[in-house]
Structure 1
Amino acid sequence: MAAGPKSSALFSFGVPALFVWLWSTGFIGAKYGLPFAEPFTLLLIRMLLTLGLLGVLARILKASWPGWRGAGHLAITGLLVHGCYLGGVYYAIAGGMPSGIISLIVGLQPLVTSAVAIAVLNEKVSVRQWLGLALGLVGVCLVLLEKFGVNEARGSFPAWTLIWAALSLAGISLGTVYQKRRGTGADLVSGTLIQYAAAATLFAIGAFAFETREVEWAMPLILSMAWLVFGVSIGAILLLMWLIRRGAASQVASLFYLVPPVTAFEAFVLFDERLGLVAMVGGCLSILGVALVVMRPSP
């Protein structure tokens, strides 16, 4: 029996909403886990655990595997979407950059992705969508402006963390477009496994070359690792790959505008951080901006 219009609409909005929530918890998990392990070491452990679970899932589902050319494209996507993005975020936070500042920088991704999509994929972005992108960016800035306040926003942190933040932004932006152009024909499970294997290789090189690889197995690390593996590395990433396969790269990228407001709400619930009027207005603007970009005009 075919799904009706209501169930189809619920599915169309429900899946992106679930992805935004899962993705936003990655910042929370990183904040809990980084005091107990260095960034590349923490990410390597996360990737190895995830690869084991995906390997079992691929065997159960009898996932199909791409050829060498397809695997190469997936590996490049993995290095960008997972390797550069996660490595940049974790090292920026570990270096002293507030998580809200890094999320603001990564929140510029829709603009970068849209520009790359226009140049590489020849995607057309309407005036309505550009307006949505602009509103989304303004909303993100308002949320983070109030969340961190003037004093903390002006707090000093090492300038080199900006390099990691820029690497993260470039990785997720280019990786989203590259996945749309080169990696959409692969099985979701096997394709994600290949991407993680490439990222794990990068993290292993970084951990053994630059870090002590010492880990303090405290309960916060164990709990955060469990969530990062099951909720983010498997749940959120499989949803992201599915969304990229179904939608234009610029539309998928617009979902990341919702991550900072959702993260701000999570910080309010978990850490009792106050959400004032400015943050609420910013969140509403972000939601409106996403709606303008994602919703298709009536025929």
Structure 2
Amino acid sequence: MASARDSQHSLFAVDAITMAGRHCRSCVMSSAALRPLWPVLFVILWSTGFIGAKFGLPYAEPLTFLLVRYGCTALLLTLLALAMRAPWPGNWRMVAHLAVTGLLVHAVYLAGVFSAISHGLSPGLTALVVGLQPILTAVLAAAWLKTPVGPRQWGGLLLSLAGVTMTVWPRLSIGHDMLPLLLPVVAALFGITLGTLYQKRFVPHFDWRTGGVVQFTACALATGAVAPWFESMHIVWNGSFAFALGWLVLVLSIGAISLLNWLIRHGESVGVASLFYLTPPTTALMAFALFGERLTPLAIAGMAVVAAGVVLARR
């Protein structure tokens, strides 16, 4: 009897802790005092993705790397969702919408960026092409979602684009042999742009744990079907690759993507997209701190211009 009573008390304790955890997360995410911090934290976490790729890509081909990343993320989110009794999508239509957003935001975007960089496209040119996302989002949001974009927002977006160009200009290299590599980056640009707009339109509200399971499972299945046709699937397992994989799974695929989903749900499409302008300057600062990459006066001035443009676009 004592054992049964202890077991029952333990179950009650677990339920209480789970409910308290859910309540605390809700309070933290919705706190008016903390809301301004989430965009800043998102930019910092998202920018580390390029650093993680720099560590991991020497030891695995891009699609193979992404396949392992998607699989690990889906597994961890499944365990987390089951442990926390998270609500699952209510119908198959919602599952389909989540799968589409996952394929666009994760599979198409990351495959394009990783493939281009691994085949020699300069990070500066990659950042510049992907940096067109906020302007493309503004154009498509006005046409598809009927989201009004005012003169101040347009001015902020164009100012930020100029700042991104200034930031990456010292590392920008364009040659005739680079032109074919622009195709996957352009695909990545349209993937993340259409994916965020699609999510805002069709599935803005979903649980980040179970929704993430659907999204990353869809990405793993799609990438697993394509990767063997183009890659050897060989991985050099060592500490550097394990660190890069763990960082990209925990910090990017779970942490940053959860914040992105929250921002899409609570913000305007153009305002959220403008945050991506801050990624190249933040990545440049991280590369300076971690790898000793040089920061030119032009790049530093570009960072200030980007920040001013983002503030203007988000007003």
Q: Give your verdict on TM over 0.5.
A: yes
Asked if 2 retains the 8 angstrom alpha-carbon contact of 1:30 and 1:224, the reply is: yes
Counterparts of 1:74-153 in structure 2, within 5 Å, are 74-146=98-170, 148=171, 153=173
Q: Which residue is 1:269 aligned to?
A: 289
Residues in 1 aligned to 2:160 and 2:212: alpha-carbon distance in whole angstroms? 29
Alignment of 1:62 with 2:85, yes or no, is yes
Asked if 1 retains the 8 angstrom alpha-carbon contact of 2:134 and 2:277, the reply is: yes
Residues in 1 aligned to 2:311 and 2:193: alpha-carbon distance in whole angstroms? 20
Aligned residues: 285
Asked if 1 retains the 8 angstrom alpha-carbon contact of 2:74 and 2:212, the reply is: no
Asked if 1 retains the 8 angstrom alpha-carbon contact of 2:165 and 2:302, the reply is: yes
Residues in 2 aligned to 1:206 and 1:57: alpha-carbon distance in whole angstroms? 28
Asked if 2 retains the 8 angstrom alpha-carbon contact of 1:135 and 1:289, the reply is: yes
Q: Which residue is 1:53 aligned to?
A: 76
Q: Which residue is 1:286 aligned to?
A: 306
Residues in 2 aligned to 1:111 and 1:156: alpha-carbon distance in whole angstroms? 26
What's the secondary structure of 2:36's corresponding residue?
A: helix
Which amino acid is the alignment partner of residue 247 of structure 1? G
Which amino acid is the alignment partner of residue 85 of structure 1? Y
Q: Which residue is 2:181 aligned to?
A: 161
1:62 shift after superposition: 1.2
Q: Over residues 41-100 of structure 1, what are the superposed CA-to-partner deviations in whole Å (9 max), with x where a residue is unaligned?
A: 000000111111101111122111111000001111011000100000010011101122
Asked if 1 retains the 8 angstrom alpha-carbon contact of 2:125 and 2:174, the reply is: no
What's the secondary structure of 1:65's corresponding residue?
A: coil
1:199 shift after superposition: 1.1
Q: Which residue is 2:57 aligned to?
A: 34
Which amino acid is the alignment partner of residue 99 of structure 1? P
Instruction: Return 158-167 or 134-143, whichever deviates more.
Output: 158-167
Asked if 2 retains the 8 angstrom alpha-carbon contact of 1:95 and 1:157, the reply is: no
1:157 shift after superposition: 4.5
Asked if 1 retains the 8 angstrom alpha-carbon contact of 2:109 and 2:187, the reply is: yes
Q: Which residue is 1:43 aligned to?
A: 66
Which amino acid is the alignment partner of residue 71 of structure 2? L
Asked if 2 retains the 8 angstrom alpha-carbon contact of 1:95 and 1:158, the reply is: no
Q: For the aligned residues, what is the CA RMSD?
A: 1.4
What's the secondary structure of 2:179's corresponding residue?
A: coil
Which amino acid is the alignment partner of residue 55 of structure 1? T
Asked if 2 retains the 8 angstrom alpha-carbon contact of 1:104 and 1:141, the reply is: yes
Q: Which residue is 1:227 aligned to?
A: 247
Which amino acid is the alignment partner of residue 227 of structure 2? A
Q: Which residue is 1:188 aligned to?
A: 208
Q: Which residue is 1:176 aligned to?
A: 196
Which amino acid is the alignment partner of residue 100 of structure 2? I
Structure 2, unpaired ranges of 5+:
1-26
What's the secondary structure of 2:156's corresponding residue?
A: helix
> What's the TM-score once normalised by structure 1's chain length?
0.92
1:248 shift after superposition: 0.9
Structure 1, unpaired ranges of 5+:
none
Residues in 1 aligned to 2:302 and 2:78: alpha-carbon distance in whole angstroms? 41
Structure number, greater radius of gyration: 2
Residues in 2 aligned to 1:248 and 1:126: alpha-carbon distance in whole angstroms? 13
Counterparts of 1:198-277 in structure 2, within 5 Å, are 198-277=218-297
Residues in 1 aligned to 2:98 and 2:271: alpha-carbon distance in whole angstroms? 21
1:145 shift after superposition: 0.6
1:276 shift after superposition: 2.2
1:159 shift after superposition: 2.9
Asked if 2 retains the 8 angstrom alpha-carbon contact of 1:96 and 1:157, the reply is: no
> What's the TM-score once normalised by structure 2's chain length?
0.88
Residues in 2 aligned to 1:185 and 1:26: alpha-carbon distance in whole angstroms? 25
1:156 shift after superposition: 6.2
1:104 shift after superposition: 1.4
